[in-house]
Amino acid sequence: MLKKIFISIIFTIFLLEFFSFIATKLNLLIVNYDPDYLQSHGNKWRTETTKWGSWHKSNFEDTHLTKCFKTTYKSNNIGARDNIDYNENLRKDSIVLLGDSLAEGFGVDYDEIFPQLLGKKINRKILNFGSAGHFGPLQASILYKNLASNYPHNEIIFFFSPLNDFVDNNWEYWKIKVRKFRNRPYFIKGNKPDEFDVFYPQTNDNYLIIRLKELIFHSIQPFLLKYTYTANTLRTFNAVYSKVFTGNDENNASSQKDIYSYFIEDDFAVKGTMHSIENILKLASKKEKKIILIIPTLDDLKRIKNGENYKNLLWYKIIINLTNKYSVRLIDMVDYVSVEELEKMTFKCDNHWNSYGHSYISKLIFENIYK
């Protein structure tokens, strides 16, 4: 009896994997990725051993291969994505770039990423302190204070992405929605209203218990993602279930109450994130230029072009106040880019900017700030 049950289970697993393989190759599922072991994800050069969490190993080279791009990442002496080392002999008119994967140049060759393109246009060095891996404003502020500010520069550029920057360092979000606590800082409520403290999960008395639960409940998922096509079927089923049975479409940001975008109404997430951005501006208050680029998703842009208003929301009011307070040059992409243009700027298999996207942004900032 047990033998028959065992054989039935094995046969079912085999059939599910075979179906998933065929469906993936025919692009029939919502998610159609090859298993991780067949891909080069560009994660070998990444590390989370720094005070700000996500960063890169020093003097490291890694390859990133997906269905729509192949690129090589190289880091310099301090872990920044650059072909030159950073030291105290850099030009004093250098510019520090802060931000997440878009600033890093995720998926794009080195010579075609924003800091290289704009740097050539204005004949100045742009120091690339962008980092992928859910890298939020709190991390950027800590990185700027502890690393980037040590190198000569007289301007900063900060890429602000509402879609993920409101959650990347939001402890309330991560402990409930994600439940995967990485070696990184989060913001939590302080002792006073609108005051925020920096929190590292490793300092929590219950951290070992949390990690044990995490290992138990999340041990199957990495295995499926790494070695099977079945993961695609399960993720597709989960997306369909969420949409049909809960009314929550995981692939449509506008329909998710817990997806953060231009239309966020979570005061805690907004105030915590804006607190981190203000810390960056305070640290750079004496610099000649402070530039913030606000980056919409395609869904954000479609909603705005269809008449939805976000400029009366708390986050936008705060960022306008900050730009006035710290003499910031603010560029909101919504005011310049069309839906069709933004579609051309991103990879077909990925929401990051392609080489055309980086070229577009370098021209946008050049024409509005440096021309």
Dump pLDDT digits (tens) for 326-359.
999 999 999 999 999 999 999 988 889 999 999 9
State yes or no: pLDDT of 29 exceeds 90: no
> Any alpha helices (H) in the chain, and if so which ranges?
2-25, 101-104, 114-122, 137-146, 162-165, 171-173, 207-218, 220-227, 230-245, 267-283, 298-305, 314-325, 339-345, 355-365
CA atoms of 246 and 284, how far apart (whole Å) = 45
Judge whether 173 and 220 are in contact, CB under 8 Å. no
**Local confidence band at 59 (pLDDT 50, 70, 90 cut-offs):** very high
CB-based burial label for 364 (10 Å; 0-12, 13-18, 19+): middle
What confidence tier does 42 reach under pLDDT thresholds 50, 70, 90?
Answer: confident
State the pLDDT at residue 128: 98
The mean pLDDT of 236-240, rounded to a whole number, is 75
Q: How many CA atoms lie within 13 A of 221 on its CB side?
A: 7
pTM greater than the 0.75 cutoff: yes
The strand pair at 95-99 and 155-160 is best described as parallel
Structure-derived torsion over alpha carbons of residues 217, 218, 221, 225, reported in degrees to the nearest 10: -170
User: Residue 193: its pLDDT value, please?
Assistant: 83
CB-based burial label for 34 (10 Å; 0-12, 13-18, 19+): middle
Write down the pLDDT at residue 219: 62
Cβ(167)–Cβ(301) below 8 Å: no
- 287 pLDDT above the threshold of 80: yes
List CB contacts of 311: < 8 A, sequence separation 6 or more. 317
Query: Other C-beta atoms within 10 Å of 135: how many?
Result: 28
What is the percent of the chain where pLDDT is above 70?
87
The C-alpha torsion from 350 through 274 and 130 to 371, rounded to 10°, is 90
Write down the pLDDT at residue 339: 97
Distance CA 150, CA 96 (A): 11
Q: Average pLDDT of 180-186?
A: 80
Say if residues 170 and 272 touch (Cβ distance below 8 Å): yes
**What is the pLDDT at residue 245?**
42
pLDDT digits (tens, 9 = 90+) for 157-166: 999 999 999 9
Instruction: Please report the pLDDT score of residue 176 as a whole number.
Output: 75
Residue 2's pLDDT is what?
79
User: What average pLDDT does this structure show over 136-152?
Assistant: 98
What per-residue confidence (pLDDT) applies to 369?
97
pLDDT at 197 over 70: yes
Q: Residue 179: what pLDDT?
A: 54
| pLDDT, average across residues 124-149 | 97
How much is the pLDDT for 181? 65
In order of their start, the domains of the chain are 36-218+260-370 (3.40.50.1110)
pLDDT tens for residues 243-276?
544 444 444 433 344 456 899 999 999 999 999 9
pLDDT at 244: 46
Return the minimum-mean-pLDDT range out of 31-35, 187-191, 195-199: 31-35
Identify the pLDDT of residue 258: 41
Instruction: State yes or no: pLDDT of 93 exceeds 70.
Output: yes
How confident is the model at residue 279, as a pLDDT?
Answer: 98
Give the range among 5-9, 336-340, 361-365 with minimum mean pLDDT. Answer: 5-9
